[in-house]
Structure 1
Amino acid sequence: MLATAATAATAAIVATGVLLGATAPATADHGAAPHRVAGPEDRLPDLQMEPLSDHRVQILEGRRVLRFTAVIANRGDGALELVGSRTSTSTEKMSVVQRIDQRGGGRESVPTEAVMTYAVDDNHSHWHLQHAAEYSLRVPGEEHPRVAHKEGFCLIDDERLPGASSGEAAEPAVYDGCEEGLTETRSVTQGISVGWGDPYSFDVWGQWIDLTGLSLPGRYCLEATADPRGLLAETDTGNNTTSALVDLTSNGVKVVDTRC
């Protein structure tokens, strides 16, 4: 389905009222969010974080930060398609429905507790899915990590995943934008197709963790987690986190191990 078709589907959902007055499912065990129990006909996405790369320590606006590149990937059985909507342009947040492919054809629209908001602080001026991913840094074996400021993401098909065959990945990309500049829109569709990833380069706004006050040099665990609050239905939530054990100094970073 092309992006234009996705937009049409969004309008159809809003018109039929699927997004209005929906009751949220039961709360998941692992967080404060609803979590759908997969049915036999569901073709669910499987969100994962690809291994982190491009690690570097830089000075940014007077602060020492750790920067890195991350990729949110879908290696599941079906696309991640999210439809945000609001009844009025005076409402800042959009409620979000997840559209789940069915093996026999068609889709089911499932309400979630996720929200979309219009973001301007990253210089992109488009709609973000809040809490789509989380970056954190902690001392190995300890809790209370330092969490990155960035938590909103515009999910699109931007990078073909390594090992994805032509039959596994949509061609061309289905999801290619998040209504940039359209502050008055009442609906947004975004997502990630099977076999595609959404990369966030180290030099993108928000792709950093502030190191102010941390003991340097030091060894830390850097983690990135897709859907950290369990807001979305997927096949496996146990593989959403990738990590790297890193040695940090005031001007550099060395990856000691690809996981903590």
Structure 2
Amino acid sequence: MPLFAQSFIAPGGRISDYSGPLIVDSFPIQVNGLSGHLGDGFGLGKVCITIIHPRVSDIKVELQSPDGSTIWLTNRNGGAEARDYYQACFRMNGFSGYIHQANPPFVNGEYIPDGRMSFLNNGQNPNGTWWLRIRDLREGETGTLNSFTLHFEEGDYSDEKQRPCNENYPEACQCPGLTDSCDLLPDFIILESFTRSQIKEYPFDHPYYGGQLRFAATIANVGDGPMETRGSDRWYCGEDEVVRNSLCADGEYARQELTQRIYHLADGELSWEDRSAGFNYYDDKPGHDHFHVDDWVEFRLVKEEDGNLKKTLIAEGRKVSYCLFDTGICNNLDSLCTWQGQVFGEKNLPNYGFGHYASCNAEQQGISVGGYDTYGMLYEGQFLQLPEDLPSGEYWLEIEIDPLQLFYEKDRSNNLFRMPVLIQYQEK
């Protein structure tokens, strides 16, 4: 049977207001009559939604395929005042740009989603039940999914630009400097364009974010190997070993001892070593419901004086834990993955695509070579609480990756991102 373009449309329904972290509204759509496998010259080209909601920054929208793979279409985007997605479509190379960088209204555009559509175009049979899953993550407003559409078509739906280095094809892997043997180490950087486009100071009388400086943080891996964590199945409350999913005395879930998998290349063969590297734990805060790697980033606001010779700490956030997986992948066609003027992508990352991390679970999570992991401005923990009576003026925002130096990487000198921030004092 020949492949051809075909669309499937389904009605929606009411979107429940937030009343707990596990509440999700699921809307099915049945796909049948398609031949072939997704990604092999034929794939899910775009997804379109119409959601009527007075505050779309409350909601997270995911698409799940018949084989259980899930990606984020949009997660708490648009800022605190944005409303509605009206025939807003999501495509791998959407002409309207990244949804997290787009400005509302979200009407009749084609956006690049918060997740990678290649994780759905993964060779699976497209026939079966697909699900659109919507979570409202802040109480006070309700909305409606009017309809959603899946559009399948011929085309290249892989975002891998070359035959990737991986465990099954080690001949494609390269050591830096083309030496015969090496450790293939990750290298973490903050992608500054995400933070610069998503940062906002909220007044003290704001009903939800009073006195907060909120900002996005996106971490890319521009190294020679993946950032990969593995669970040990050893769980602790403090120093006491417990069973998985135990609730500790402080009300938090038990933490699992992690290892970092380090890949070694020698004479065209790959091996690996697992080394101790911190902990992860189950995070049940709104919008999460998955496992986070502990102490992944730290945020600071500082004031520089005396010609930048004196630095005073103004505000410090807790060390924030992240769920590590590929929400996107760098390419050389835009300037998104830039550090100190260098753009990273398939052309200058020899082991581009090494790793495959579509979700974050207890057993394995990470960031592939050339992949990046995004936490938006309105995500849990993405803020600094400003001191009352803080004078107006220029300060510096600092975001540091792996502040406890728990993970082994190629270069630590680029783990600290700094940018000037103009604070405008607003009386409480």
Provide TM-score, normalisation by structure 2.
Answer: 0.45
Which deviations, in whole Å up to 9, do the C-alpha atoms of 1:42-95 show, x marking residues without a partner?
110011112132221123536211111111111101001001232431551111
Question: 1:250 & 1:142 partners in 2: Cα distance?
Answer: 20
Residue identity opposite 2:359 in structure 1: G
8 A contact 1:160–1:169 mirrored in 2 = no
Question: 2:407 & 2:378 partners in 1: Cα distance?
Answer: 28
Within a 5 Å distance, the mapping from 1:225-236 to structure 2 comes to 225-236=400-411
Q: Alpha carbons of 1:144 and 1:178: their partners in 2 closer, same or farther (altered >3 Å)?
A: same
Residue aligning to 2:256: 94
Matched residue of 1:146: which SS?
Answer: strand
Count residues in correspondence. 207
Given the alignment, which residue of 188, 191, 208 partners 1:50?
191
Q: Alpha carbons of 1:223 and 1:86: their partners in 2 closer, same or farther (altered >3 Å)?
A: same
Residue aligning to 2:414: 239
Residue identity opposite 1:89 in structure 2: R
Given the alignment, which residue of 111, 117, 122 partners 2:275?
111
**Shift, 1:130, TM fit:** 0.7
Residue aligning to 1:84: 231
Residue identity opposite 1:69 in structure 2: A
Q: Does 1:156 align with 2:317?
A: no
Question: 2:271 & 2:314 partners in 1: Cα distance?
Answer: 38
Which deviations, in whole Å up to 9, do the C-alpha atoms of 1:128-173 show, x marking residues without a partner?
10111111111123244522246110011112223301765328x7
Question: 1:60 & 1:169 partners in 2: Cα distance?
Answer: 44
Residue identity opposite 2:258 in structure 1: V
Matched residue of 2:311: which SS?
Answer: coil
Q: For the aligned residues, what is the CA RMSD?
A: 2.5
Within a 5 Å distance, the mapping from 1:192-207 to structure 2 comes to 192-207=367-382
Q: Which has the larger radius of gyration?
A: 2
Within a 5 Å distance, the mapping from 1:1-260 to structure 2 comes to 41-51=182-192, 52-53=195-196, 54-58=198-202, 59=206, 61=208, 63-87=210-234, 88-89=243-244, 92-104=254-266, 105-140=269-304, 141-149=310-318, 151-161=320-330, 162=337, 163-165=344-346, 168-170=351-353, 174-179=356-361, 187-213=362-388, 215-250=390-425
8 A contact 2:360–2:366 mirrored in 1 = no
What is the identity percentage for the equivalent residue pairs of Structure 1 and Structure 2? Answer: 27
Question: 1:156 & 1:250 partners in 2: Cα distance?
Answer: 37
By relative contact order (CA 8 Å, sep 6+), the higher-ranking structure is: 1
Matched residue of 1:139: which SS?
Answer: strand
Residue identity opposite 1:165 in structure 2: E
Q: Alpha carbons of 1:169 and 1:113: their partners in 2 closer, same or farther (altered >3 Å)?
A: closer
Residue identity opposite 1:85 in structure 2: S
Unaligned runs of 5+ in 1: 5-39, 180-186, 252-260
Provide TM-score, normalisation by structure 1.
Answer: 0.72
